[in-house]
Amino acid sequence: MKGVQDMGITRIKLQKGLHLVKRGEVWYAEKFAGGRWEYRKSLQTGDLETAKRRLIEEAVSSEPILRNRPAKVAALSLDRAFETYEEWYEKRRKESSQEVTFPVIRSFIKRLGGDTDTRDITQKHLQDYIDSREGCSFWTVKNDFGRVRAFLKWIDKKNAGAIDLHCVRGIELPKDNSVTPEAPSMETVKAILRRVKGHPTLEDLCTVLFETGMRPGEVLALRGVDVNGNLVKIQKRDSDGWSPKSKWSIRTIQVPETVAAILKARKERLFDKAGYVFGLESGKMRHEKYVSAMFRDALRGGKKGKVEMPAEFRGVNLYGLKHAFCSIHAAAVIDGKPNPAYMPLQQLSAYVGHGPGSTHLLERHYADRNAMRAGAPVALLGTSVETTVTAIGVKS
């Protein structure tokens, strides 16, 4: 037998993997196997000879006290896990997020089988799923993989040991060989505004979207009380369940005089200043989906149904006006001349409600990386008006 004494602990090796260890005044039997301590059991004595005798008499190895081994986890099927995840997600995420997340997870579960035990999911399952998405864009696959990964991590968080998270590591995504689609040009935007001119909602709405770079949902959710001269507040409201896309979207921005005039006129027509600036006659908020359909019909010349979209408007949607705003304001030079509407990326990112770490999105889609001139947003339509620049940020 070999023994060592270290910091009050005496260890005696009886055979390979089996030790007597004295901790304080008490002897313990410990067995090491498979790269981990398999068990430890107190022999309830401080005398070495008594400890050896009890080790033999009580047959410690037949009734081990497990250590470093997780408790057995009950089987959990993917279908059952998703039912619980769906309930949790619906309480915490916006409906628009649910609409894109649930179909992706359901397709993943359908591929593996709803009865599949979550403990049986491997990296190969994830890689096969990613490979099956051939033909989809890099960003579609990347975002969908993120949704599936979040679902599997949630399972692990709520049911310890129910899944081996090594399955989501080392997944090879397709290469990003895509070419970023161009934002609508100034000529296209002007053609859109001519098309919607005279429309009681779309003329003003499209102008505001293009002049501010706000998201369609943000403009549709504006209330009279959110508009104060040329300052517009975008904030979360528990009263009607609407909320900005993220915490970075909660902000107060200065808008050009052309937009301030539009919002002021629409606000003055409201009987209740807490009502929606672009709301329905019933006082309810317009749904972005229906406004988008109305926009497409207007581009077709006000004709619904199967009328073909004019070539110049194909691929254009309400978000295209936001993209056009970013594209124009991110360019330092236009037609070889300095662009008076240029905004540095950090400022532009904050203005349109992106997080501070998301300037790469603007760089990828719009930016001239060599641009170095500061500036506040100026009117892109009509005559610009000199105003005092108000710092962009969240109003306390």
SS3 letters across 232-249: EEECCCCCCCCCCCCHHH
Stretch among 177-186, 190-199, 280-289, 300-309 having the lowest mean pLDDT: 177-186
pLDDT band at residue 8, thresholds of 50, 70 and 90?
A: very low
Q: Percent of the chain beyond pLDDT 70?
A: 78
How many structural domains compose the chain?
3
Give yes or no: residues 159 and 222 share one domain.
Answer: no
The answer to the question of residue 296 being in a domain is yes
The answer to the question of residue 371 being in a domain is no
- Over residues 26-39, the pLDDT tens digits come to 888 877 765 555 66
Identify which of 169-178, 221-230, 244-253, 336-345 has the greatest average pLDDT: 221-230
| DSSP secondary structure letter of residue 16 | T
Asked if residue 99 has pLDDT above 80, the reply is yes
Give yes or no: residues 227 and 330 share one domain.
Answer: yes
Beta strands in 161-214 (DSSP E): none
Structure tokens at 169: 């590591």
Q: Quick one: pLDDT at residue 266?
A: 94
Asked if residue 390 has pLDDT above 50, the reply is no
pLDDT band at residue 210, thresholds of 50, 70 and 90?
A: very high
Asked if residue 362 has pLDDT above 80, the reply is no
Residues in contact with 21: Cβ distance below 8 Å, sequence separation at least 6, in sequence order: 9, 10, 11, 12, 27, 28, 29, 30, 40
Beta carbons of 236 and 329 less than 8 angstroms apart: no
The answer to the question of residue 387 being in a domain is no
Q: Quick one: pLDDT at residue 219?
A: 93
Q: Quick one: pLDDT at residue 246?
A: 80
Distance CA 6, CA 42 (A): 19
Q: Quick one: pLDDT at residue 150?
A: 94
Give yes or no: residues 145 and 244 share one domain.
Answer: no
- Over residues 180-195, the pLDDT tens digits come to 567 788 899 999 999 9
Q: Mean per-residue pLDDT for 58-68?
A: 47
Give yes or no: residues 10 and 151 share one domain.
Answer: no
Give yes or no: residues 217 and 283 share one domain.
Answer: yes
Give yes or no: residues 211 and 124 share one domain.
Answer: no
Average pLDDT, the chain: 80
Give yes or no: residues 161 and 274 share one domain.
Answer: no
pLDDT band at residue 177, thresholds of 50, 70 and 90?
A: low
The answer to the question of residue 129 being in a domain is yes
Q: Quick one: pLDDT at residue 363?
A: 60
- Over residues 215-247, the pLDDT tens digits come to 999 999 999 999 999 899 988 876 677 788 788
Beta carbons of 89 and 101 less than 8 angstroms apart: yes
Q: Quick one: pLDDT at residue 75?
A: 81
The answer to the question of residue 213 being in a domain is yes
Distance CA 68, CA 127 (A): 30
Q: Quick one: pLDDT at residue 369?
A: 39
Beta carbons of 55 and 43 less than 8 angstroms apart: yes
Would the pTM count as exceeding 0.75?
no
Stretch among 174-188, 277-291, 362-376 having the lowest mean pLDDT: 362-376
Asked if residue 327 has pLDDT above 50, the reply is yes
Give yes or no: residues 252 and 158 share one domain.
Answer: no
Structural domain harbouring 55: 2-62
Give yes or no: residues 161 and 265 share one domain.
Answer: no
pLDDT band at residue 44, thresholds of 50, 70 and 90?
A: confident
Q: Quick one: pLDDT at residue 357?
A: 62
Among 134, 168, 202, which residue terminates a domain? Answer: 168
* CATH code assigned at 287: 1.10.443.10
| DSSP secondary structure letter of residue 132 | T
Stretch among 31-40, 187-196, 205-214, 313-322 having the lowest mean pLDDT: 31-40
Identify which of 75-84, 301-310, 378-387 has the greatest average pLDDT: 75-84
